[in-house]
Structures are given as structure tokens and as C-alpha cells.
């Protein structure tokens, strides 16, 4: 199988060596091949809508944050007119990053090499040497290149490098229902607190994504020292958890609580919650009907993901992006989300729960990152390239649901991952090669 | 030889250093529960997130321009998102989870070695002391996954029955993007 792969950088012709027809078998090379990784940058990261930040991080004109679109560094900034601009962070003169800070407010970015200066939204303002040297430079031609399109939904800012990309609305499709169930749940909305946590993990970028797309199967097992298989939380998960794929590539995993469940049962995620947090979350659920449909109101979320690399952990209030750096290396960014209108002490408790369990200091996350790293090591064993990974749990069990969009599978059904790799195959090899 | 008169209690500093060496040894020898006995019930363990702020031109030509505090995101009421913000109970959870066959990321356990240095001690009221110290931790796991993690610590300790107890520890980590696999460790 390995011999088919080009070492010259040319495109790999077809997908049959990597995935079987229904993606219930996934080759180890999907995670470890250098050629596939380079192809992913062109066919996925240069084409898709990518999450670059949250509106709460750039509220005022001149506010900016640094971000990445795949491997491409970008600046996400609020212009004087309130418009959000996403500029590629590389000087048109010699290529240096014109912004080398993570966040702030400024009128100008200045490239250190020859001090070309740019507005926060990317327009070239000054070339100090040009005043002393002709001919005149047409500054309008030499600004920072912009992302092809920028759109927002529920405060989430997405951008794409692809001028042919469909609208964000079309890109998300019916998955919007699940985004809305979380982002419209809190009466005052959600905002990002603090800068992101960033750390390198020696794993393929798709594995954390796949994990948060719906991998209920690892939860009480990999994290068994913290969440027991026979704990009330896990019993609730096994009773009610489903994964829903409303559009290939995106996915949501949640408990669809029974109609007679109480607001407290729907709202409270951690058994360690204080009485005050229980009261706050219960109150949120009590008013949810004003903002969401009855089916959305019964959703007690666990996680979801937007293709290709955005993930949300619902009960832990964290958004994360898996930035590709090499087949076996990601730069993982993780943000804390807080309900805007919650009292301060509630925000503090939510934050404490997040950083105890997640982020680089989290006791749950250290187990995930450990597993992801070991998966990459296993994926590099050439001798096993004729033994693809098994993704076949629950094949055929998923079906449409009368109340919620997409194909819905029970708890441990791995269709959320099969549909992710189906989308990956379409993007990488095209429709005609999808079989 | 010139001598400089400074307010320096060598015995006190030596005792605090001995406390820190013992603490580091207990942690390196994976005696986390014995280490936990050195912690006061009011314990707060925090690690601000380190980030790169935009230079503030208004602060140019002053030390504030390069102030470390501008790079630290702490828990500040409802604001901020530190990497660690543990209380006594959270610390307890961290010290007990490793002793299980299914505490997977610690079974088999990583090897650690902590070097503690640059200890400064200032006496406060009520038998309490403010200390500054540096650490360098060598972290080795899964064969040859080796990392060096460095940082500073700002502690509040209290003298109890001739020994010390930890009341507060703030860890200032030196990395921006963390290249070690986890910071769910006690520094």
C-alpha cells in the first residue's frame, strides 16, 4: 500500500487504499501520511470555512486577535467602521508577520524589517523609504491580502480562503439547529474569557476533531478514573445520548432528554455543581422555550464539531481549534466561554470547572492528549497499513429522527466519524472518486 | 573583603529551602499524598495563562513597557482564563487520580525531577512568609518523550509547629505555546 504513495508531492490518485466504501475502515495512513497532510492543506484548509475568533474578543474599533487558518497566520480585526477584516499576517514586501502579538488594540501594524505600516484591517499606509525614492508606489495594490470571505453566526467569526466557497449558512446546513441549541441557549449569549490556551500535541489534527464529534465510547473508559462507567452521569449518557449528523463533516453529540425531564436534569452537567450554579442553570432551562424549539430545549449537549477543525465541549464551556502543523503535530487552541449575563460567582465556578478538567492543565484533557499521541505512534507502523482501523460500531443503526435534523445514532454508534471521513474523502478526492 | 549589611536571616532561608527540597523530593518520588499533607485547607494553586500583549506605546521608556504582568492572564473576578485555578479540593483530586490502574496518562507514570532555586523569603505577619523561587522540571514519559519545563513560583507559606504549610502558590510558566504534553502537574 505504501508504494502507491508518491514521494514527489504529486497528488494521490484515489481513495480506495485509505477508506472502504462506508468509511467503517480507515487506513492508518489517513493520520500519518505526509503526502495526504500536504494535500489536506490545499483541498481542505484552503477551501473550507474556518473558525478564526469570537466577536466578543474584538468589540471595539482597532481591537484585534491573532489566529490561524490552518497553517496560515491571520489577523482578525475590527475596523473603524465596525467591519471585521481577516488579513493574512505576512508583509507584502518581504513576508514577515506584521503582527507578532496575540491580542490588543492598535491603529497600525508595523513590519519590523523596513517598517512598512498597515491599518489594523490590512491597508498599506506607509513605506518610509518610498518618500525618498521613486517611482511612486501604488499603496492600494500592496496591502495585506484578505481572506476571501468573512461571515459570523452566533458571534462566531468564520473566514475562508476560497472565493468559490458557498455561504456560511449553506456550509453549515441543518447543523445550525445544533449550534443554535447551545449558542442561543443563554439569555444574554456567550462570550470568550481571556486569551486561548495553546499547546503542541504530537497527534494528527483530525483525531481531536473526531473525538469531540461524538466519541462517547471513550468517555467513561479513557476517563474511567474520573467518571465511572456505573456513575449516574454515565448511566444518563448511555440512556439518552445520541450523535446527529445533519451535514457530512459536522456532528453533534448530546443527550436528548425525555419530555418529562426536569429543567434541573437538562441544565446541570456536573454532579459537583454548587446549589447556586444548579439554580442558575435550571433558570436558564426554564426560559429556554423563549429562544429555542421544544426539541432544542430537550438537548443536553456534550460536544459538537464544525468541519474541519472547530470543536465545542458544551458542559465544560470550551471552544477549541486543532491547527495542523505536521501529520503528527497540532497546535491546539482552547477558549473558555462564559454566559454573558451570569453573576460573577457563577462565571468563576464555570471557569474553575473548565480549567480543572480541560486545557493544558486539565486532568481530563491530559488523558485525551495522551491517547491522541499514542494513536499517532500506532498510525506510523507501515507493516499495519493492510490493517485499517475499525470504525464499524453501529453500522446501519443510525436513522432519521422525527424531531431533530440529520441522521441520528445511539450513544456508541460511530457514524459521526464515518461521516467525517466521508466528507474528508469528498474534499480530498472529489465526488467521482468518492467510492 | 567588603561586606554588605543586608537584612538576611540565613537560618530562615535555609529552613524554607529545606522545605522546598523536601516538597520537590516527595513529588519526584510520587508521594503525592505525603505532599498533600504539606498543604493548608485554604490552599490556592494558580497558573496564569501567558500570552503576548500588543506593545503599549504610552508605556515606552519605562519598565512597565515590558512588565511581565502584562503577559499574564489571571482569574480576576469574572474575567480571565488561567491555565490552573485549583482550590484544596481540586488539589486533592489531582493528587489521588494517579494511583489507579485506569489513571491512564499516569499509568505507567512519567518520570520527573524538580530543581528548586533562587529562593527569596520575606517575613509577613502571623508566621506567614512571602517567597519567590524558580523551578526547572525535567519530565520524561513513554520512553523518550522528554521535556524541560521552567518557571517561577510566588508562594505564601505559614509556619506551623516548626514546619511550613503551603497557603498559596502562583506558578509563572515560561512558555507561551506549551510544548510539554501537560501542565496538570504540581510545580
Assess contact for A175 and A246: CB atoms under 8 A: yes
pLDDT below 50 — which residues of chain B?
1
Count of CB atoms within 10 A of residue A283's CB?
14
Taking the CA of residue B99 and the nearest CA in chain A, the distance in Å comes to 9
Kindly report, residue by residue over A345-360, the tens digit of the pLDDT.
Answer: 999 999 999 999 999 9
Kindly report, residue by residue over B58-95, the tens digit of the pLDDT.
Answer: 999 999 999 999 999 999 999 999 999 999 999 999 99
Q: What is the pLDDT of residue B97?
A: 87
Is the pLDDT at A258 greater than 70? The verdict is yes
Q: What is the pLDDT of residue A4?
A: 47
Taking the CA of residue B33 and the nearest CA in chain A, the distance in Å comes to 17
**What are the residues whose beta carbons fall under 8 Å from the beta carbon of A235, sequence distance 6 or more?**
none
> Crossing angle for the helix pair A365-379 and A206-214, nearest 10 degrees?
130
**What are the residues whose beta carbons fall under 8 Å from the beta carbon of A210, sequence distance 6 or more?**
A416, A417, A420
pLDDT interval class at A14 (50, 70, 90):
confident
Assess contact for B129 and B159: CB atoms under 8 A: yes
Residues of chain B found within 8 Å of residue A373, distances taken between Cβ atoms: 142, 181
Assess contact for A234 and A221: CB atoms under 8 A: no
Assess contact for A12 and A2: CB atoms under 8 A: no
pLDDT interval class at A227 (50, 70, 90):
confident
Is the pLDDT at A434 greater than 90? The verdict is no
Assess contact for A249 and A419: CB atoms under 8 A: yes
pLDDT interval class at A433 (50, 70, 90):
very low
Any chain A CB within 8 A of the CB of B151? no
Is the pLDDT at A188 greater than 70? The verdict is yes
Taking the CA of residue B13 and the nearest CA in chain A, the distance in Å comes to 30
| CA pair distance B49, A331, nearest whole angstrom | 16
Nearest residue, CB atoms, A362 vs list B176, B181, B184 = B184
Assess contact for A271 and A233: CB atoms under 8 A: yes
- What's the average model confidence in pLDDT over A405-434? 91
Nearest residue, CB atoms, B84 vs list A104, A355, A367 = A355
Longest dimension (CA), chain B: 61
Is the pLDDT at A36 greater than 70? The verdict is yes
> Crossing angle for the helix pair B88-96 and A344-357, nearest 10 degrees?
20
Query: Is B81 in Cβ contact with A361 (below 8 Å)?
Result: no
Is the pLDDT at A277 greater than 90? The verdict is yes
Q: What is the pLDDT of residue A226?
A: 87
- What's the average model confidence in pLDDT over A404-412? 97
Assess contact for A22 and A418: CB atoms under 8 A: yes
Which range is least confidently modeled, A225-234, A244-253, A347-356, A362-371? A225-234
> Crossing angle for the helix pair A275-286 and A344-357, nearest 10 degrees?
110
% of chain A exceeding 70 in pLDDT: 96
Of B12, B19, B57, B11, which is closest to residue B38 (Cα–Cα)? B19
| CA pair distance A379, B102, nearest whole angstrom | 23
- What's the average model confidence in pLDDT over A305-325? 97
Does A224 sit behind a cis peptide bond, omega within 30 degrees of 0 on the bond before it? no
pLDDT interval class at A146 (50, 70, 90):
very high
As a whole number, the mean pLDDT across chain A is: 94
Assess contact for A132 and A113: CB atoms under 8 A: no
To test the contact with chain B by mutation, choose from A73, A101, A355 the residue with the greatest count of B C-beta atoms within 10 A, namely: A355
Q: What is the pLDDT of residue B8?
A: 74
Give the residues across from B157 on adjacent strands. Answer: B129, B166
Q: What is the pLDDT of residue B7?
A: 63
Alpha carbon dihedral A153, B76, A336, A183, in 10-degree steps, equals -40
Is the pLDDT at A10 greater than 60? The verdict is no
pLDDT interval class at A131 (50, 70, 90):
confident
Q: What is the pLDDT of residue A393?
A: 98
According to DSSP, the β-strands at A241-245 and A251-256 are: antiparallel
Q: What is the pLDDT of residue A134?
A: 82
Q: What is the pLDDT of residue A49?
A: 98
Which range is least confidently modeled, A8-17, A50-59, A65-74, A422-431? A8-17
Size of interface A-B (CB pairs under 8 A): 123
Is the pLDDT at A321 greater than 50? The verdict is yes
Any chain A CB within 8 A of the CB of B87? yes
Question: What phi, psi does B57 have (nearest 5°)?
Answer: -60, -25
Q: CA Rg, chain A, in Å?
A: 23
User: Complex ipTM, two decimals?
Assistant: 0.94
Question: What phi, psi does A320 have (nearest 5°)?
Answer: -145, 150
Residues of chain A found within 8 Å of residue B186, distances taken between Cβ atoms: none
Which range is least confidently modeled, A54-63, A192-201, B6-15, B43-52? B6-15
Amino acid at each position: 500500500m505504501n508504494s502507491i504513495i508518491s514521494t514527489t508531492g504529486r497528488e494521490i490518485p484515489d481513495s480506495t487504499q485509505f477508506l472502504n466504501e462506508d468509511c467503517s475502515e480507515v487506513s492508518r495512513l489517513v493520520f500519518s501520511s505526509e503526502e495526504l497532510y500536504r494535500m489536506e492543506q490545499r483541498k481542505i484548509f484552503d477551501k473550507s470555512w474556518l473558525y478564526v475568533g469570537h466577536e466578543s474578543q474584538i468589540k471595539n474599533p482597532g481591537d484585534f486577535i491573532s489566529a490561524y487558518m490552518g497553517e496560515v497566520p491571520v489577523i482578525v480585526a475590527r475596523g473603524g467602521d465596525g467591519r471585521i477584516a481577516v488579513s493574512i499576517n505576512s508583509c507584502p514586501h518581504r513576508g514577515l508577520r506584521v503582527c507578532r502579538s496575540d491580542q490588543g488594540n492598535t491603529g497600525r501594524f508595523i513590519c519590523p524589517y523596513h517598517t512598512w505600516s498597515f491599518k489594523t484591517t490590512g491597508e498599506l499606509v506607509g513605506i518610509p523609504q518610498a518618500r525618498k525614492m521613486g517611482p511612486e508606489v501604488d499603496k492600494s495594490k500592496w496591502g495585506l491580502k484578505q481572506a476571501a470571505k468573512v461571515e459570523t453566526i452566533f458571534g462566531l467569526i468564520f473566514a475562508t480562503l476560497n472565493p468559490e466557497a458557498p455561504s456560511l449558512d449553506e456550509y453549515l446546513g441543518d447543523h445550525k439547529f445544533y449550534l443554535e441549541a447551545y449558542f442561543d441557549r443563554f439569555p444574554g449569549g456567550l462570550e470568550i474569557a481571556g486569551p486561548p490556551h495553546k499547546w503542541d500535541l504530537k497527534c494528527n489534527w483530525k483525531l481531536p476533531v473526531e473525538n469531540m464529534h461524538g466519541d462517547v465510547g471513550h468517555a467513561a473508559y479513557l476517563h474511567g478514573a474520573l467518571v465511572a462507567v456505573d456513575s449516574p452521569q454515565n448511566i444518563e449518557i448511555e440512556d439518552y445520548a445520541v450523535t446527529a449528523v445533519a451535514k457530512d463533516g459536522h456532528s453533534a453529540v448530546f443527550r436528548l432528554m425525555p419530555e418529562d425531564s426536569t429543567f434541573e436534569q437538562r441544565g446541570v452537567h456536573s454532579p459537583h455543581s454548587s446549589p447556586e450554579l444548579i439554580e442558575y442553570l435550571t433558570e436558564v432551562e426554564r426560559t429556554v422555550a423563549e429562544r429555542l424549539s421544544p426539541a432544542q430545549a430537550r438537548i443536553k449537549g456534550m460536544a459538537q464539531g464544525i468541519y474541519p477543525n472547530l470543536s465545542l465541549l458544551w458542559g465544560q464551556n470550551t471552544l477549541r481549534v486543532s491547527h495542523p502543523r505536521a501529520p503528527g503535530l497540532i497546535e491546539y487552541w482552547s477558549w473558555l466561554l462564559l454566559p454573558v449575563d451570569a453573576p460573577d460567582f457563577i462565571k468563576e465556578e464555570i471557569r474553575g470547572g473548565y480549567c480543572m478538567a480541560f486545557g493544558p492543565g486539565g486532568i481530563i484533557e491530559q488523558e485525551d492528549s495522551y491517547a491522541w499521541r499514542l494513536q499517532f505512534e500506532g498510525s506510523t507502523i507501515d507493516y499495519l497499513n493492510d490493517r485499517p482501523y475499525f470504525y464499524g460500531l453501529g453500522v446501519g443503526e443510525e436513522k432519521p429522527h422525527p424531531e431533530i435534523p440529520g441522521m441520528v445514532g445511539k450513544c456508541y454508534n460511530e457514524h459521526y466519524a464515518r461521516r467525517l471521513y466521508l466528507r474528508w474523502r469528498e474534499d480530498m478526492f472529489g465526488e467521482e472518486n468518492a467510492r | 573583603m567588603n561586606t554588605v549589611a543586608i537584612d538576611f536571616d540565613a537560618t530562615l532561608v535555609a529552613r524554607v529551602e529545606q522545605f522546598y527540597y523536601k516538597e520537590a523530593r516527595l513529588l519526584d518520588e510520587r508521594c503525592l499524598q505525603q505532599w498533600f499533607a504539606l498543604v493548608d485547607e485554604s490552599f490556592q494553586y494558580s497558573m496564569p495563562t501567558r500570552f503576548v500583549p500588543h506593545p503599549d506605546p504610552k508605556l515606552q521608556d519605562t519598565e512597565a513597557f515590558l512588565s511581565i504582568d502584562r503577559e499574564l492572564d489571571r482569574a480576576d473576578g469574572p474575567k480571565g482564563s488561567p491555565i490552573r485555578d485549583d482550590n484544596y479540593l481540586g488539589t486533592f483530586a489531582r493528587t489521588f487520580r494517579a494511583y489507579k490502574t485506569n489513571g491512564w496518562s499516569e499509568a505507567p507514570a512519567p518520570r520527573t525531577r524538580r530543581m528548586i532555586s533562587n529562593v527569596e523569603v520575606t517575613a509577613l505577619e502571623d508566621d506567614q512568609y512571602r517567597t519567590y523561587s524558580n523551578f526547572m522540571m525535567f519530565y520524561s514519559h513513554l520512553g523518550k518523550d522528554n521535556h524541560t519545563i521552567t518557571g517561577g513560583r510566588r508562594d505564601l507559606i505559614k509556619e506551623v509547629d516548626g514546619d511550613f504549610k503551603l497557603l498559596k502558590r502562583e506558578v509563572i510558566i515560561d512558555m507561551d505555546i506549551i510544548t510539554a504534553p501537560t501542565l496538570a502537574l504540581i510545580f
